[in-house]
Amino acid sequence: MKTKRETAKQGSQSFLHGALILTAGMAAVKVIGALFKIPLKYSVGEYGMGLFNVAYNFYGPVFSLATAGFPVAVSKMVSESRTLGRWNDVRQIRRVAFPLFFALGCAGMVLLTLAAPFYCNRVIETPHALIPVLALAPAILFACLGAVYRGYYEGLQNMVPTAASEVVEAIVKLGLGLSASRWAVSACTAEYAEFGTVFSLHPGSPDEAMFLTLSFAAAGAVLGVTFGSVCALAYLALRHKRKGDGISPRLYQSAPAPESRRHTVKRLLDITLPVAIGSVAMNVTGLIDATFLQSRLSGILEQEPERLLSGFSGMIPEMYLENPETIPTYLYGCFTLAMTVYLLVPALTQAFGISALPAVTEAWARGDRREIKARIESVARVTALFCFPAGLGLSAVAGPVTRVLYGEESSSPIIAGVLTLLGAASLAAAMCTPFSSMLQAVGRADLPVKLLAAAMALKLLVNWLLCSIPEINIYGAALGTLVCYLFLATAQFFCLRREIGIKLSAGKLFLRPLLCAVLCGLSARACFSGIRPFLSDGTMGEAVCLGISVVFGAIIYLLGLFILGAVEKNDIKMLPKGQKIAKTLEKWEWI
């Protein structure tokens, strides 16, 4: 019979193994996403990216229900039933969730479709964003259905289906989205040159024709997202049909009878609603930026255009200066290009939150305080070790990263300035998902919702005040993101510590990784400045210099971790072949 210590050890290994699988999947998705968004920027420009991201951020809160909220609810219930040996309940949860999430997906799709014209035409006053928004609406239904499979497998601590389906979705988005976008630009340009129309519409001027073309191009890009969600659902359904869930029929036979379907639906809704509200609030930051950033910039342009534009001398192309109503969307497009890079950090560490939920739920269900403490500390420490150097490193080399990814364009200084602030914000943002998951795992799904509501209100206030100052403008939104997530991560940590009744030391978990991350960022920046004059001009020389600087910063970071003792032996042991690595490091007296 296994001791509690052995069980805890196995649970921790399972947690990190699942987290690494999801991290690998997330990394692949983000690389594919970069291969999608970087060429898309060259195809549609900053204005087209603004339209694309208006659609994405308007759709984001609803979509987050399907990709984050619903799977978490299913995963938590499945994990609890699995831990208690109620295998018939495990199967019933999946069966009950399908019709429920189908209805919610249909409602979300209809709601988005009905709200889109009012939002685009009246709220943000960007009519060209309407076509891309409508092209995204069907994705909500397919994503909701896919959420059932993802949450089901995550609750069984099998992260492979989630990771694989996300890669499938990203590949389809890349291939179809880029192809459709480029075809739209080519077809619209040719039609206007020959007939003076754009898909049978009659623009009033060449500039209007260009903006309309970019609207259809952005719609083509988001169609890739819609069809990606269809293909991800198809993959999950086929995988389940062919491989099943790995649960032995003997377990079903020996398990107690399931609870009534009505009771299961009630439990699922009780968990889903607070989790769903929390996941929506987490994504409302993008909607706040998409809505209020553009409206505040429009207000400045009407009242004090000289003060605003003086800060962007030489950074805004003449076409937009001649059409001032397009400048807010152009600047918003620059902001979202920085956001694309910033989101890499919290997206990668999101895997630890997904994997932590069933692991901590299992420990909580057993009531083993030592196991609970070990798992929570492991999640927090490993997340910090990953995200702190990534975030501060991003801030340190924001300029080179921008030039390598998006080229030496007039908008590069704007994007780099925003990215410098967002890199710092990513440290706190990356911690929020694991903390939220662990609060849900210990039975306080309501707390992430309440804390998120307070954080969103704080962001809204900071955005409203700072974005209206002409000299701060879009940088106010980045500062709002920093303040929002710093408050949220701090509040979540102390609430988690209070709920479990176990002392967790913030200094022990986060201070040493933070100091090492500061060294990492400073080293990378110094290395770049030192060797850049000796390498060739152009993007290739910039990329080589950036790569060397990142490697140098990473080496300094790792040395700092071992010198300051920020890495524990158990953390190393949980890695693949960790026993061998731990022995080697002990031999060298590094741990």
**Across 322-351, average pLDDT:** 86
pLDDT at 531: 93
Using the predicted structure, report yes or no on whether residue 485 has a pLDDT greater than 90: yes
pLDDT above 90 for 285: no
Condensed to tens digits (0 to 9), the pLDDT of residues 21-36 reads 777 777 788 778 878 8
Is residue 485 within 8 Å of 436, Cβ to Cβ? no
* Nearest-10 Cα torsion for 414, 415, 420, 423: 160
Q: What angle do CA 573, 575, 581 make, to 5 degrees?
A: 60
Over the stretch 559-573, which tens digit does the pLDDT of each residue have? 988 888 777 666 665
pLDDT (mean) for 117-125: 88
Q: pLDDT digit string (tens) for 164-210?
A: 998 999 999 999 999 999 999 999 999 999 999 999 899 988 989 99
- Percent of the chain beyond pLDDT 70? 88
Q: What pLDDT score was predicted for residue 580?
A: 67
pLDDT at 527: 95
CB-based burial of residue 558 (10 Å sphere; 0-12 exposed, 13-18 middle, 19+ buried)? middle
| Per-residue pLDDT at 256 | 87
Q: What is the mean pLDDT of residues 282-292?
A: 73
Q: Output the six-digit token pair for 152.
A: 């089901």
pLDDT (0 to 100) of residue 267:
82
* pLDDT at res. 573: 58
Tell me the whole-structure pTM to 2 decimals.
0.72
Q: What is the DSSP letter of 255?
A: S
14-42: buried (b, 16+ CB within 10 Å) or exposed (e) per residue?
bbbbbbbbbbebbbbbbebbeebbbebbe
Q: How confident is the model at residue 450 (pLDDT cuts 50, 70, 90)?
A: confident
Q: Where are the alpha helices (DSSP H) in 244-316?
A: 249-254, 261-288, 294-303, 305-310
- 577: confidence class by pLDDT, cuts 50, 70, 90: low
- 490 confidence band (pLDDT: 50, 70, 90): very high
